[in-house]
Amino acid sequence: MSDHSKSSPLPTYFAVFFALLVGTGLTVFAATLDLGRFNAAVALTIASIKATLVALFFMHVKGASEKLTKLVVIAALFFLLLLLGLTMTDYVTRPWS
């Protein structure tokens, strides 16, 4: 994590920073459009892209020396999705019961 290649990481940091701000603006803008059911999906997709950028570049997951870091991140996401997804199997199918 502390051993960066010869080139400076600063351009990457600033690029990600601007991308995050643009993403925020895009989220607000998209919220003002009527996309029907897709408003939520668009908002969450943009949010996920932003989160991924922060994780990969600011938290240095990209280029992490070990696969273990990525495994921890994936595991956390997996269990979160498990919590949300399996709970929803109940709520989504209740009208049929």
Partner 1 sequence: MPQPAIAPPTIAQTAERENYLNAKYGVWSWLLTTDHKRIALLYLLSITFFFFIGGFFALLIRLELLTPAGDLVQADTYNKLFTMHGMVMVFFFLIPSIPAVLGNFLVPLMIGAKDLAFPRINLLSWYLYIIGGVMMLHCMLTGGVDTGWTFYAPFSTNYSNTNVVEAGLAIFVAGFSSILTGLNFVVTIHRMRAPGMTWSRLPLFIWAHYATSIVQLLGTPVLAVTLVLVAAERALHLGIFDPKLGGDPLLFQHLFWFYSHPAVYIMILPALGVESEIIACFSRKRIFGYSFVAFSSIAIAVFGFLVWAHHMFVAGTSVYSALVFSFLSYAVAVPSAIKVFNWTATLYKGSIHYDAPMLYAFGFLGLFTIGGLTGLFLAAIGIDVHVTDTYFVVAHFHYIMVGGAVMGYLGGMHFWWPKISGKLYPEGWARLAALIVFIGFNLTFFPQFLLGYMGMPRRYYDYSHMPEFQILNVLSTAGATVLGVGYLLPMLYFLWSMRYGKPAPDNPWNAAGLEWKTPSPPPTFNFDEEPVVTWEAYNYDELDSPDKDAPRGEEVPVAR
Partner 2 sequence: MRPAARRSPLPDSTLIGLHHEEEHHPELLHHFADAQQQRDSASLGMWVFLATEVMFFGGLFCAYLVYRRWYFPDFAAASSTINMWLGATNTAVLICSSLTVVLAVWAAQTARRTLLIVSLILTMLLGMAFLGIKGIEYKEKFDEHHVPGASFSFDKVQVPGHPDQYANPHHAQIFFSLYFVMTGLHALHMIIGLGIFLWLLIMAWKGRFTPEWHTPVEIGGLYWHFVDIVWIYLFPLLYLIDRHK
Binding site for partner 1 (CB under 8 A): 68, 75-76, 79, 82-83, 86-87, 89-94, 96-97
By a kind-dependent CB cut-off of 5 to 8 A, residue 96 interacts, out of partner 2, partner 1, none, with: partner 1
Which of the residues 18 through 57 are near partner 2 (CB under 8 A)?
20-21, 24, 27-28, 31-35, 39, 43-44, 46-47, 50-51, 54-55, 57
The 3-state secondary structure of the chain reads: CCCCCCCCCHHHHHHHHHHHHHHHHHHHHHHCCCCCCHHHHHHHHHHHHHHHHHHHHHCCCCCCCCHHHHHHHHHHHHHHHHHHHHHHHHHHHHHHC
